[in-house]
Amino acid sequence: MQNYWAEFLTVALVHLLAVASPGPDFAVMLRQALCQSRRNALLTAFGIGAGILVHVCYSLLGIGLLIQQSVVLFSVLKVMGALYLTWIAVQCLKARAGGIYVDTQPRVAQSGFAALRLGFLTNTLNPKATLFFVSLFSVVISPGTPVALQAGYGIYMALATGLWFALVAVFFTLERVRKSFNRFGHWLDRLMGGVLLLLAGQLLFSTVSGSEPPSGPIPGTDR
């Protein structure tokens, strides 16, 4: 294990920069924290972390490399991701004035499963995350690294991602923070919807324009 500490630290640093970068995961997480209960926000954070495991699994199996090199498969993934982001964006754009969180209850109640599923699908259907993990496992991580150790890297990234977004959830569900956002919360909600809509449009445009997935390392999962 001592021979792989440098590699692990590189993976941890690259992942930290990636998970902290703004993108669909953060936009969805922010909306959940401001509009839903802390429990649901934490479930969404855990869902995002669980989504990381999906990317790790197909990267280890070599399926991710196949997706990256196939224009058709990658295009299908981008369209699915764009449609899902569009659906979330529409929900955000429907936000009404008068506060996003009233007293102790959210305006629109959400089941725990729906909150978990939201985080999981947002991360899983993000094609940029696919590129990031395929690049990470093919460029940063040595092919000679034992598969069990590579899986350990993946578990670490899933846990670190879940923890990061759990901290985001806890902070933005603080009563003082919520109250500061509540008066103009519907505008923030609509802004998040606009951002997600732009990201969805970018994915669809890149699909229609026929751009191929890049082969080099990707700096972040959400960019």
Q: What are the tens digits of pLDDT across the range 77-116?
A: 778 777 877 877 777 777 665 545 544 555 566 899 999 9
Quote the pTM value: 0.75
pLDDT tier, 183 (very low <50, low <70, confident <90, very high otherwise): low
CA atoms of 38 and 118, how far apart (whole Å): 15
pLDDT tier, 220 (very low <50, low <70, confident <90, very high otherwise): very low
Per-residue pLDDT, 191: 73
Per-residue pLDDT, 95: 61
pLDDT (mean) for 53-68: 80
H or E element that contains 99: none
CA atoms of 46 and 40, how far apart (whole Å): 10
pLDDT tier, 141 (very low <50, low <70, confident <90, very high otherwise): confident
CA 167 to chain centre: 15
Beta strands in 19-120 (DSSP E): 101-102, 105-106
